[in-house]
Amino acid sequence: MPEYTIELTTRDAQTLTFPCAEGENVIAAAERADIYLNAQCRSGACGACIARHDGGDFTLGDHSSDALSDADRTQGQVLLCSTQPHSDMRLTLPYEYDLVRFEKTPLRQARITAKTYLNADTVNLELQLEPDADDSLVFDFEPGQFVQLTVPDSDITRPYSLANAPNWDGSLELLIKLHDKGQFSTWLRDTATPGMALSVEGPLGTFVLHDNGLRPRYFVVGGCGLASVVSMLRRMAEWQEPHPVKLFFGVWREQDVFYRQELAALAEEYPNLDYTICASEATQGWPGYHGSVLDAFVQALGEESTLPDVYACGSPGLIDGVARVAAEHGIPQEQVIFERYLASTAANSAASTCCETA
């Protein structure tokens, strides 16, 4: 069986090479070489393994158009889990070498310490990790990353972004959108109580802060996409980073808003943070921004003298809108970092899924 050489270049110009057999996809080949790239569904449904094709022949298998659109393909993007090479290939990853792993992601055990409803269908879930094999509680991750949670004695596994900053005590916080027919949502709503156990795999994902000097940072998020960005902001506040920071948090209706008090406290702790809560279908008495989060983003860009780094997290529609607006305002593509939350059916999941990063 023919075997080809795959050459991957990371965002920071580091190179990885490994063999890939005819009929094998790139993710499987990398893992056979103990190289663990960003991946999640492994079926072309989530987009976590997106990369740019720079050379070589291949077949792209079945995939969701939400995970890889026609526009993405036109720009040379591929999904590594669906890419089967027919020659040597060159590919570029949208993340740094430090986010490539060379061993399997650790699996930890945790217990629920609190379950709090933030609105009718959003839960703040707090977990406490059990000590690992070295009797340590430390959970080392980059703000913006996520974990996979698995319900005990089941195959129900879902990805959720961490909302807390890294810490030494093993406490984790997640913001979870409940879905009427979701398996994890049903378990969380009807069964989960403090003291119950969960398996935690992670950290995972490549939606992290980039050190690009002191340019302003704009964060554009919808719904529970707020979680990963709050983790970033908490780290920035902890370190009192000097960047000018704007957060645009969007929901449909004012009753969908959550985390108001937490955002107010964060802004008090971190004076560089200016945040706007946007409601697309707000009533006349709504004190926040009347309109979509994209409208607020456009308005702010019109008043900005320096092109910011833009971090976006939310639905495919939101991400596409942010990318379009950024391009229209001359923001270079490499200054736009995003994580796309895909619908549960697209990601073979029954809960909101944080998958695609670039």
Nearest to 275 by CA among 259, 264, 286, 283: 264
pLDDT at 353: 40
- Domain termination residue (choose one: 57, 82, 99): 99
Are 245 and 352 in a shared domain?
A: yes
pTM, rounded to two decimals: 0.91
280-309 pLDDT, tens digit per residue, is 998 989 999 999 999 999 999 999 999 999
Residue 339 and residue 292: Cα distance in Å, rounded? 19
Instruction: For residue 157, give the nearest of 170, 141, 146, 144 by alpha carbon.
Output: 146
Query: For the segment 83-138, what is each residue's pLDDT rounded down to a tens digit?
Result: 999 999 999 999 999 999 999 988 999 999 999 999 999 999 999 999 998 999 99
Q: What percent of the chain has pLDDT over 70?
A: 96
Choosing from 42, 76, 99, the residue where a domain stops is 99
Looking at the structure, tell me whether residues 39 and 74 fall in a common domain.
yes
Write down the number of H helices and E strands in the chain: 7, 20
> Same structural domain for residues 338 and 233?
yes
In-domain check, residue 212? no
The CATH number of whichever domain residue 179 belongs to comes to 2.40.30.10
- Chain centroid to CA 227: 9
Question: Does residue 358 have a pLDDT over 50?
Answer: no
Q: Look up residue 60 and give its two tokens.
A: 């792209």
- The set of residues, in sequence order, having a beta carbon less than 8 Å from that of 224 and lying 6+ positions away, is 122, 161, 175, 176, 177, 341, 352
pLDDT at 313 over 50: yes
pLDDT at 343: 53
pLDDT in the model for residue 352 = 37
Q: Are 127 and 198 in contact, with CB atoms under 8 Å apart?
A: yes
Say yes or no to pLDDT of 185 above 50. Answer: yes
Structure tokens at 240: 């009192």
Q: Is the pLDDT score of 346 beyond 70? A: no
In 10 A of CB 261, how many CB atoms? 8
Residue 92, domain CATH: 3.10.20.30
Contact criterion met (CB below 8 Å) for 219 and 311 = yes
Q: What is the pLDDT of residue 204?
A: 94
Overall number of domains in the chain: 3
Place of tokens 């305002």: 329
* Mean pLDDT computed over 316-345: 88
356: pLDDT strictly greater than 90: no
- Give yes or no: residues 222 and 337 share one domain: yes
Answer whether residue 209 shows pLDDT above 80: yes
Last residue of a domain, one of 56, 74, 99: 99
- Where would I find the beta strands (DSSP E) of 73-179? 77-79, 83-85, 89-92, 107-119, 122-129, 146-150, 157-161, 171-177
Under DSSP, the state recorded for 271 is T
Pairing mode, strands 50-55 and 77-79: antiparallel
Average predicted confidence (pLDDT) for the chain: 93
Same domain, 242 and 197: no
Residues in Cβ contact with 211 at an 8 Å cutoff, skipping those fewer than 6 apart: none
In a domain, 158, yes or no: yes
Looking at residue 357, what is its pLDDT? 36
Range of the domain at 255: 217-357
Residue 197, strand partner residues = 111
DSSP secondary structure, 285-304, as one string: T--SEES-HHHHHHHHHHT-
Mean pLDDT within 159-167: 96
Give the model confidence (pLDDT) of 23-68 as tens digits: 999 999 999 999 999 998 888 988 899 999 999 999 999 998 888 9
203: preceding bond cis by omega (within 30 degrees): yes
